[in-house]
Chain A
Amino acid sequence: MFAPKQKATQVEAKPKCSCAGSCGNCSRASHTHRSLGETVSSRGTSSERPVAGSPFGYGVDRGGGLPSVARAEPQSGASFRFSANAGFRGDPAIGTFGKDAGAGDAGAPASGLGAATPAVTWTGLDFDAKATYTPCTDCKDGLEAVQVAWGAGGPSHVGKAKATFAPLLQIYDTFVDGGVNSPGGATYNADHPYYIGRSDLPASYGYKPAQGSAGSVSGCTVNPTDRPTAATVFKEAYFETVMVCLNYQGTGKDKLMNAVQWGFTDFGKTHRVSPTDPATAASVTSSPSSDFENTLKADYPSYSHV
């Protein structure tokens, strides 16, 4: 049952209690507020409490990844770090460049776009990917990211496109996150499917500041972040986050670079890379999957990239 509709202004006043509402009395129009400093816990101190084994996987360790590796592996059961366990996922024939064509390959001519392996921290619902492409002078408008989401078994449909992951029969709703068919609305106008949100881009990109920024871009470092809480109301939710070089070599087209695949089953309780990959550690590849390309094409049929 839903609670009666209530105006935000009415409920927003209550958390101004300095206890963050935790005293249980903040819903009263007037109450004697017990300051947090006076709160007495019947339990031991924080340090005495064991960390319960949990399917949610939140951890204290937020360390990033190590370079030159491609799969995040669980460590200590809660947080995830990279280890040398690469593995190209997806069809290398699909996409704009093959698995051997990544910038910075040994023997490749010097270019204005360096190679990178995104460092991924993925703890519970908290996702953070960071990659530094040095140099990045080929990216005339700098860096961005595009994120595609797939969901199934939720309370409602999301996006407009549908997808399947052969040989599985499950049908997923899919959309470019922060795109034209995203349930949260588009971050940019026209053919700009980008996820992060940069106010410093040329006006032609049409950034909508009210959408906020899902991470950051600083120089040659791109850092998309997310906490997809709606994964807790979907039986399955998957994501692919792709690093983008904007206006590659001034061609007016973007270059799609590394992809990170991550997701959840069991209503956000269990990490799983994709419907067809049960790995619980994020998968990093040198280019997007065909599934990503399909959704990008469905939502942005006029968007092209090199």
Chain B
Amino acid sequence: MVEDAPELTQAELIRAVETWVERLERQDSFSVAEYLAFGRLWNTTLAHPSIGVGPERTRFLELVQREMPKMAGVLKMVPGRGFALTSSDYDFVLGGILDKRFQYRIKDP
């Protein structure tokens, strides 16, 4: 249910992007929950291009893209609609049509 999607304010989204950039640049290893968290943030960031426009956003998109092959292995993702990485095991789609179910809900759009 879209209504059940986790919520973030715009400010929280921007700060989360900054924090994830830091972690992704350190090339941490990530848990399943963390892959899902920054994957969901990646979807949200692309779906809301006007929020947090700047180099951090750009860097975040790049860093997550770099992680995608590893994420695909961990989350057992295969191509789905729109050639998007899709995990039936974890009910998650990265990219593609940017289904709202796989985004954060912006509390103050």
Docked-complex contact B68 and A232, CB < 8 angstroms = yes
- Min CB distance B27 to A, Å, is 14
Closest 8 A/B residue pairs (Cβ): A21-B37, A184-B81, A227-B95, A228-B83, A229-B95, A8-B91, A20-B16, A184-B80
Residues of B within 8 A of A2 (CB): 73-74, 76
Contact indicator A225/B97 (Cβ below 8 Å): yes
The total of chain B residues at the interface (CB under 8 A) is 64
* CB-CB contacts below 8 Å: A193-241 with B: 197, 211-215, 225-234, 237, 239
A contacts, CB < 8 Å to B: 1-3, 5-6, 8, 11-12, 14-24, 26-27, 36-37, 39, 41-43, 46-47, 49-52, 54, 56, 58-60, 62, 78, 124-126, 147, 149, 151, 154-156, 158, 177-178, 182-185, 187, 197, 211-215, 225-234, 237, 239, 267-268
Judged by DSSP, the binding face of B is helix
Q: Which residue of chain A lies nearest to B37 when distances are taken between CB atoms in the complex?
A: A21
19 CB contacts below 8 A, A to B, read A1-B73, A14-B33, A21-B36, A24-B28, A26-B33, A36-B16, A37-B11, A46-B18, A58-B58, A58-B61, A60-B54, A184-B79, A184-B86, A226-B97, A229-B65, A229-B84, A231-B83, A232-B85, A268-B65
> Does any Cβ of A come within 8 Å of B49's Cβ?
yes
Q: How far is the CB of A11 from chain B (nearest CB, A)?
A: 5
Tell me the dominant secondary structure on chain A's binding face: loop
Interface string of B44-69 (1 = CB under 8 A from A): 00100100011111110110011011
A23 to B18, CA, bound (A): 11
- Nearest chain A residue, comparing its CB with the CB of B4: A12
Contact (Cβ within 8 A) A233 B68: yes
Known: A15-B33, A21-B38. A214 touches B81 (CB 8 A): yes
A151 contacts B83, C-beta separation under 8 Å: yes
Partner of B79, one of A5, A54, A151: A151
CB distance from A38 to the nearest CB of B (A): 10
The reply to whether A233 and B69 form a contact with Cβ atoms under 8 Å apart is yes
User: Of the candidates A27, A56, A178, which one forms a contact with B82 in the assembled complex, judged by CB atoms under 8 Å apart?
Assistant: A178
Contacts A27-B33, A62-B49 hold; do A43 and B22 have CB atoms under 8 A apart?
yes
**A52 vs B59: C-alpha distance when bound (angstroms):** 8
B72-108: CB near A (< 8 Å → 1, else 0) gives 1111111111111110011110111111000010000
Q: In the docked arrangement, what's the CA distance between A228 and B56, Å?
A: 22
Query: Cβ of A18: which chain B residues have Cβ within 8 Å of it?
Result: 7-8, 12
Q: Which residues of A contact B23 (CB under 8 A)?
A: 22, 24
Closest to A8 in B: B91
Q: Report if A46-B74 is in contact (Cβ < 8 Å); known contacts: A11-B33, A22-B16, A228-B83.
A: no
B59 lies within 8 A of A49 (CB): yes
A227:B46 contact, CB within 8 angstroms: yes
What separation, in Å, do the CA atoms of A231 and B58 have in the docked complex?
19
CB of B91 within 8 A of CB of A59, answer no
Docked Cα-Cα span, A6 to B20, in Å, equals: 23
Q: A36-B16, A60-B53, A183-B78 are in contact. Are A22 and B86 (CB under 8 A)?
A: no
Given A22-B16, A27-B31, A126-B46, do A226 and B82 touch, yes or no (CB 8 Å)?
Answer: yes
Q: Residues of B contacting A24 with CB < 8 Å?
A: 23, 28, 34
CA distance A267 to B72 in the complex (A): 13
**Additional A-B contact list (6), CB under 8 Å, known A20-B40, A36-B16, A151-B83:** A12-B36, A49-B56, A58-B65, A156-B78, A187-B81, A229-B83
